[in-house]
A = this chain, B = another copy of it.
């Protein structure tokens, strides 16, 4: 990790990488250098803010100190003794804008010497960012608590670093949202995008049209008072709150109380299932625009941010096509088709949004030459859509590649570069790429699981958006993410604690502590199914009201032991000279350990816990998969030829074992074994090829898609 001790942005490291302390920072700063020495942190630690100060800065400093105190276990003095200079000075030039705003200066400079810590920032928000960095620098060793001597010059690469939280599909309360805000602040995310309305729930109080939330939310919605409180809470942490009111599709919940606004006659009920729904607002009905004017006026007044997100995605047009009135309107106004109809709707909407003093954001679908240039396109479709919007002169934010709800490895999100080095965009077009947003869609989350779906993985997205593009070492990111996971827990997030509690409920009171411990070991190798597999692998129809307390909800993506196993397997398979007995022993031991744990679960837990018994196929698959892997590794030493039929048979077996039916989980070692099978099948070709080329070939062979639908 020598490279990490050197600053990226032009600052040279003063000490060489080998002797420099490994920093646990996330996101990494724009530029830093580690110098010699350290500042000891003792009970006499004192703080002063000699320049600008205000309530927000004081509260930020107090949160910072309290977290350190709780980690170290002793109280800090805070005020310097008379005549003494404070250990830590926060020099802030001014308060920054009174409303958190796009483009606010978030830079800071942090200098730690053996004698003093100095944090300087032009704004309070910059100072808050610097406090989070300093908070992460606290370290301990035999010499005591200390901060290594560093020089940091930092500012974000992108100004829009967001987290979308969908509180419509499942209700997420204001308290749970506050926890996420604390997590965002810890990793320097700065936009909370609240997806407030959708087919499955209208989650915001409307005082002008109370039937919207009263009929559309099962009583689960944010009151306007709660929203104001949330915005203040976010502002305290330098975070904007951008509301999304998704129209004209995704509006079933609106129509429960207002069927007269629909494109087809009602009555309507709150949607309880997932996927694109047919209902949509009637874009030919003047009452729809009158209501949008009134309601968006409320939203505009409630949320001080300059932007208002109007969704605009996934209008399937079925209800419009089925309406003679709407089709006649399209013909009469020369709108060509349903897409033209939506463009017409968006023009009307744009006028309303402007009238209430806001700039408009919408998903890819709203892109149209008529849009005013201040509009932001939010792309869920990818690099092409992003380039198209930027070339058309619009600012753009990227969420494609940041869909954290897919439960995919965060390495993929980390590698999702909004502006790759080989981008074809001009510098001006590149400047239109404001940043991106991780999307926590709500189909598969509850208040109990949302923390483990967002954290610690969103820290990697935060780093992608904050840090220089050159910071992209996957292994070092994972090393630091394990540290930041503990730091995030200190802010009150429950990504680990809730998973433990859910597992206790899952096994029930008849389970012995030893049996539960075995289950925990086995689950190191288990993650939720990826991408849309949970939609496809159905035992029952997935609805909003299902309890989300299954095995899949207890496990998390990015299991560190599973990742470490996969990395070690890949090294053993591909790195020349690694495929020897010494390297293989830990791999076999790991598989044997998971197998033994699964056998324990089968023998001791399944008989006494009904839910573990339901997970029987998963437990059995884990036993078979690990045993298979142990045998397969033994095969690797043998030189016999393996034919196509053998390969096909092994891949089929692995596909079956990787996705045991009924629990929506994936057994992670299967992917490594898949690689090994493909390597063994092509071993004969290896001798004549460069190592890297052979690896690519094996990876390509292994990447054959698993079946989309698996029988339950």
Contacts and interface: CB of A to CB of B under 8 A. Distances in A.
A546 B70 CA distance: 9
Contacts of A611: 72-73, 140
Contacts of A543: 75
Interface string A464-500: 0000000000000000001100100110001011101
Interface string A516-548: 010000000000000000000000100101110
B547 A74 contact: yes
A565 to B, nearest CB: 14
A522 to B, nearest CB: 14
Contacts of A74: 540, 546-547
Interface in A46-71: 66, 69-71
Given A69-B547, A546-B74, A501 B509 contact: no
A63 to B, nearest CB: 13
A505 B71 contact: yes
A655 B16 CA distance: 52
B504 A610 contact: no
Contact of A500 (B75, B500, B509): B500
Contact of A141 (B142, B509, B610): B610
Interface string A589-611: 00000000000000000010111
Contacts of A613: 142
B509 A504 contact: no
A468 to B, nearest CB: 24
A547 B66 CA distance: 8
Nearest to A138: B508
Chain copies in the assembled complex: 2
A75 B547 contact: yes
A223 B547 CA distance: 35
A509 B481 CA distance: 11
Contacts of A497: 494, 497-498, 500-501
A606 to B, nearest CB: 10
Contacts of A71: 505, 508, 549
A144 interface: yes
A550 B73 contact: yes
A126 B145 CA distance: 56
Contacts of A640: none
A547 B74 CA distance: 6
A54 to B, nearest CB: 15
B505 A489 contact: yes
A559 to B, nearest CB: 12
A175 interface: yes
Contact of A509 (B24, B498, B540, B546): B24
A580 interface: no
A567 interface: no
B501 A70 contact: no
A75 B549 CA distance: 11
Contacts of A505: 70-71, 486, 489-490
Nearest to A480: B509
Nearest to A553: B73
A607 B142 contact: yes
Nearest to A144: B610
Contacts of A72: 547, 610-611
A614 interface: yes
Given A75-B543, A545-B75, A610 B70 contact: no
Nearest to A446: B70
A75 B546 contact: yes
Given A140-B609, A483-B509, A486-B504, 4 more contacts: A66-B547, A70-B549, A72-B610, A141-B610
30 contacts: A24-B509, A69-B547, A70-B505, A70-B547, A71-B505, A71-B508, A72-B610, A72-B611, A73-B549, A73-B550, A74-B540, A74-B546, A75-B543, A75-B546, A75-B547, A140-B508, A140-B611, A142-B613, A175-B175, A482-B509, A483-B509, A486-B504, A486-B505, A486-B509, A489-B501, A489-B504, A489-B505, A496-B501, A496-B504, A517-B517
Nearest 3 interchain pairs by C-beta: A497-B497, A140-B610, A69-B547
